Structure 1
Amino acid sequence: MVVESFLDGTSGGERALADDVLDGLTRPFKELPPKHFYDAHGAVLFDRICEQPEYYPTRTERAILQADADAIVAETGATELVELGSGTAAKTRVLLDAMERAGTLRRYVPFDVTESMVRDVAAALLDEYADLSVHGIVGDFERHLDRVPAPTPGDRRVVAFLGGTIGNFTPGSRRRFLRRIAAMLAPGDHLLLGTDLVKDPAVIEAAYDDAAGVTAAFNRNVLRVLNRELDADFDLDAFEHVAFYDREHEWIEMRLRSVRQQTVAVRALGLEVEFAPREELRTEISAKFTRERLIADLAASGLELAEQYTDPDGLFALTLARRPG
């Protein structure tokens, strides 16, 4: 087992948070990137979101994997799986099992920002799979993608980016990121991309504003992160959760709306931030995809669509793309 870390105190995750906050809260339209939701408490809340009846993406993606993992492995000939944002690798085991059944399983490369999670997952998988090699990467995949080790000559690589996380990128950033993934692939290697699909806006909005209020708590948790990490004094009760589907852009937006005039201090940055009554802070976009949009994004990134696997209701898709040649 090898685990490499590319985050080092304030030069890693904390500095990235500080930079994002300074940039995002001083813009005319305030926003923060959604990656900062996921501290330990945020991860627990997200697990609860996945259990809510309105939230279809996680369970639907898992069902597609369970139905089609053998076909994915047969199509790709995968011997190495690189997973971006690996987390607990819960869904990944479905792919690893299929690779083991096919007799091709050699190496797994989990990539996540949380070192303890990478180490725990690596240790558990080495116990579960006798012939598996694990090379863990601790880092921010937007900044450290070049640290993924080169594949062993003769191996077939699949890079998995699951959960619909690709939808958190704006269109230009999405294509730039996909080009960086394409650079990790040799001709014949593949990308397995989890993509939420365009559908009835009411279904999408309900998934991001569940009746139990779990997503609202998850959204406000980013303010708790700022209070703890940057000595800010956000009053979580002074912000209400907002989620709506933008039909023009075909993405969901989550925002936090200030319920009153207020001034928030972010003492670690020497920053005071003014919020007007009903002023909104955007915390996430999550784009939804059509097959045509995916083909265009992949083509602009030097990739081509190989296969697409979806559920019977057309809610979610696993898109398999390849490097031509």
Structure 2
Amino acid sequence: MMINAQDIHDGINIINQTQTEADLESARLHWLGKKGLLTNAFKALGALDKDERVEKAKSLNEFKEKIQAALVQSKLRISQILLNEKLNQQLDMTLPARDAIKGNTHPISQVINQLHRFFELRGFTSYSAEHNFDVEEESNNFSLLNIPENHPARSMQDTFFIGSQLLRTHVSASQPRILKQLNPPIKAVVFGRVYRSDQPDVTHVPVFHQMECLYIDKKCHFGHLKDTIDAFIRYLFGHSMKTRYRSSYFPFTEPSVEIDVWMPEEKQWLEILGAGMVHPNVIKNCGHDPDSFRGFAFGVGIERLAMLYFGLKDVRQLYGADVELLSGCDLWQ
């Protein structure tokens, strides 16, 4: 079915007479929806010869512009009508005030605050203000951390580049800044956001929070690392939390491990952080003697800890608008 100018004229008159948003949406779908008159007319162009197709396409584009303009004007007109109705409403000033919703510190901030308190008690200093940059140099995010040039994390598919810089993929990018600015012994923690090219799902979001812990000294060993991790897990979750250490690989630590915690309800292990002894190349790249100094480092996802503590099943709940859920999350209730 081909459409002529009279059809468009009649259609515009109907659009101009709509009084509600629902009626306007019905008119839009009638003309521009997947099965709308104009949509079907454009599909039918394929059956015409070339010269006729060009002529009809030009007419249809003009018709489409007129319909779209009428829809826009009617939308503004209806919006103004609805606004006027609201402004003309009589308010009953004798009604009691609505109960104010009691707010609470966000679960992510609660976990950060408690971790900050724990590491402060153990003599660590937070450098979240001085050495904490969302937009980082590629050298700090990769090269100085012993990540090779051909590592897949350097690709455009996994990292957001901004010119010669990038959005950091881990808070470990703060390590080179701290190591180049400070002299050992170093006991540092950094809290911040990181950015990954991840599709959101129950356990992943493209922007999330991490804590990086770094300890550099002359006599640091793996026992110090394990004691620190075990202590902060007990601090958050209590002595009943079961943990296990698995051998792993990270370019910036050697040896490397991943730490899992046992979830009784799900009857499975959940990985919560990666850790290891700082690789000698990282210490050397940042201007220190790896024969004189050793250290450990680990990074932990704050959202993962919050999900685990509050019993959340989907990380996106932490970024939703469920005020009742978020207000009910109290780390020390």
The structure, 1 or 2, with the larger RCO (C-alpha pairs under 8 Å, 6+ apart) is 1
Which structure's CA Rg is the greater one?
2
- TM-score for both structures, normalised by structure 2: 0.27
